[in-house]
Structure 1
Amino acid sequence: MNHTLIKEITHDNRKIYPQVYMIKPGPVTIQQIPNLQYVSQEMNTAFHMDWTGHPEPLGEQSMLAKVVNQLKRISKESLGYKFKLMPHEIIWHNSNVNDTYSVTQLMQVPDCITVEMFEEARTCVQRNLRNNMLPETKLIGVKSVLCAQKLHIGHYRDTQITLQEIYDFVEEQGYKVKGNHREIYLTPAMADCHPPETWKTIVRVEIGR
């Protein structure tokens, strides 16, 4: 492997997987999502969607970005591989009786990230947290799945409108929804720079016959 060449490139998986992360405004589409690797964190959390920024788990409460930032450093030092942070993703599971939600947070990471690199990253984050415990995070691989998806433009609290469009489309096309829906938050958490009417969120559901 020519590490000299690799060091000159910062890999961006948005561009490597445009059908996953760079979809354009328009109707619902069906897309085969390739095999992808993620760092994941299970959470039970409250979402304050009236706040003008990202939902709470996408802010300081999330440890995902800290772990992935360490992976960026480790992959650069050990492999000469530089990559950009990917957007936060949330799989929405159940709403609970105490106004919290069970969710899975994810950030996609390159295939070159190994379990050993992930454990090293977790150790570094834990060391920086001192007496606070790092929540459980995992390195997971997800196999290719068929999905229906649409780009939602506007406030996050209105994504249910887009989700219903997807559900209607899936039924019309003779498919069935498999599992919980996913939202991918493309807009950075800087509400003053990005007014809510411009926020971009990919809404996606896995489907099958």
Structure 2
Amino acid sequence: VTQDVFDWAIQKASEKKQLDLHNVEFLSMQEGLCVQALHIGSYDDEPATIEKIHKFIEEQGLQVDINDDRHHHEIYLSDPRRTKVENLKTVLRIPVKNN
């Protein structure tokens, strides 16, 4: 996504939904090497998926690389107001580095 597309989306969402989005920011990130998984279901069940990710990281000889610049991310693909809990989709992403 470019700054222009972001600005357009903010304008349209503000107009259509009558939302105050003046605090929304456009950030560009260099993610680097990550392991991610699609979690389907309740947010309360995410720890089991995170555990599987950590097991995969270990099996692949990688190392978790969380620090001041690299963070665990969750990307929410479903709207919890409109989606049944068992159908919620979330991408869980953990930064890694080679050992």
Query: What does 1:64-79 align with in structure 2 at a 5 Å threshold?
Result: none
Distance 1:151 1:182 in 2: 12
Which residue matches 1:196?
Answer: 85
Structure 1 residue 112 displacement after superposition = 4.3
Distance 1:147 1:156 in 2: 21
Deviations 1:144-183 (A, max 9, x none): 4111011111101111110111011101111111123211
Q: Which stretches of structure 1, 4 residues or more, deviate above 6 A after TM superposition?
A: none
Q: Quick check: which one's strand share is greater?
A: 1
Distance 1:146 1:185 in 2: 20
Distance 2:31 2:42 in 1: 29
Which residue matches 2:60?
Answer: 173
RMSD: 2.9
Return the match for 1:147 from 15, 20, 34.
Answer: 34
* Structure of larger gyration radius: 1
Give the counterpart letter for 1:197 in structure 2. Answer: E
TM-score (norm 2): 0.69
TM-score (norm 1): 0.35
Distance 1:187 1:147 in 2: 22
Give the counterpart letter for 1:151 in structure 2. Answer: L
Which residue matches 1:159?
Answer: 46
> Which structure 2 segments of 5+ residues have no match?
none
Which residue matches 2:97?
Answer: 208
Distance 2:86 2:65 in 1: 30
**Identity, % of aligned pairs?**
31
Instruction: Give the length in aligned residue pairs.
Output: 87
Give the counterpart letter for 2:53 in structure 1. Answer: I
Q: Higher relative contact order at CA 8 Å, sep ≥6: structure 1 or structure 2?
A: 2
